[in-house]
């Protein structure tokens, strides 16, 4: 099992929800987030912005964080679809992090591992 964490533009949430559903993922968790990547939230890397009296070099932008624990075999096809369907080619499209998951349990039944997701 792998835990896939997508940090994406808010307007792409519906597409990623559909992709996960189409690939038969067992569930997902969605959170609002604030973040920045290599541009530190600016279009001009050297920009310094004044926010409430503080000069900041880190401008956190609102993003959506989607987390889905899926079977190993699903990961590559999901990533391919996400890249094909939500990449705009502009900075800030987002990132995906993939973590190994040791185990899972469905609380209602006590099922473990792949059967629990
Ligand atoms: N190394 C990181 N660690 C944790 N979160 C990150 C990291 N990089 C990006 N993120 C999250 O992903 C969001 C989108 O990042 P973003 O797409 O701007 O990445 P990037 O590396 O700057 O790529 P690009 O050059 O395409 O913009 C950020 O707002 C942040 O929430
Ligand atoms: Mg960026």
For residue 42, pLDDT beyond 90: no
The ligand minimizing its distance to the Cα of 90 is 1
Q: Domain spans of the chain?
A: 2-40+57-116
Q: Which CATH architecture has domain 2-40+57-116?
A: 2-Layer Sandwich (3.30)
The ligand minimizing its distance to the Cα of 96 is 1
Summarize the confidence of residues 11-32 as an average pLDDT: 97
Confidence label for 15 from pLDDT (cuts 50, 70 and 90): very high
State residue 51's pLDDT score.
Answer: 66
State residue 55's pLDDT score.
Answer: 73
Whole-number Å distance between alpha carbons of 59 and 44? 11
Confidence label for 89 from pLDDT (cuts 50, 70 and 90): very high
Whole-number Å distance between alpha carbons of 30 and 67? 6
Residue located nearest, by CA, to atom 18 of ligand 1? 92
Average pLDDT, the chain: 93
Question: 39 C-alpha vs ligand 1 centroid, how far in Å?
Answer: 8
Mutate to test the pocket of ligand 1, among 6, 8, 37 (most ligand atoms within 8 A of CB): 37
Residues 6+ apart with CB under 8 A from 115: 106
Whole-number Å distance between alpha carbons of 105 and 117? 8
Check if 39 has its Cβ closer than 6 Å to any atom of ligand 1: yes
Question: 101 C-alpha vs ligand 2 centroid, how far in Å?
Answer: 27
State residue 46's pLDDT score.
Answer: 57
Q: Which residue is listed with tokens 């990547």? A: 37
State residue 27's pLDDT score.
Answer: 97
Q: Over the range 87-116, which residues count as b (16 or more CB within 10 Å of their CB) and which as e?
A: eeeeebbbebeeeeeeebeeeeeeeeeeeb
Neighbours of 58 (CB within 10 A): 11
For residue 83, pLDDT beyond 60: yes
């Amino acid at each position: 099992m792998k835990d896939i964490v997508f940090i994406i533009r808010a307007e792409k949430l519906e597409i990623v929800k559909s992709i996960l559903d189409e690939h038969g993922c067992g569930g997902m968790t969605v959170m609002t987030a604030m973040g920045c990547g290599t541009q530190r939230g600016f279009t001009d890397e050297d920009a310094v912005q004044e926010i409430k009296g503080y000069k900041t070099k880190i401008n956190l932008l609102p993003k959506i964080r989607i987390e889905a624990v899926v079977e190993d075999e699903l990961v590559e096809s999901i990533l391919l679809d996400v890249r094909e369907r939500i990449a705009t080619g502009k900075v800030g499209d987002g990132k995906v992090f993939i973590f190994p998951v040791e185990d899972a349990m469905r609380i209602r039944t006590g099922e473990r591992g792949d059967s629990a997701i």
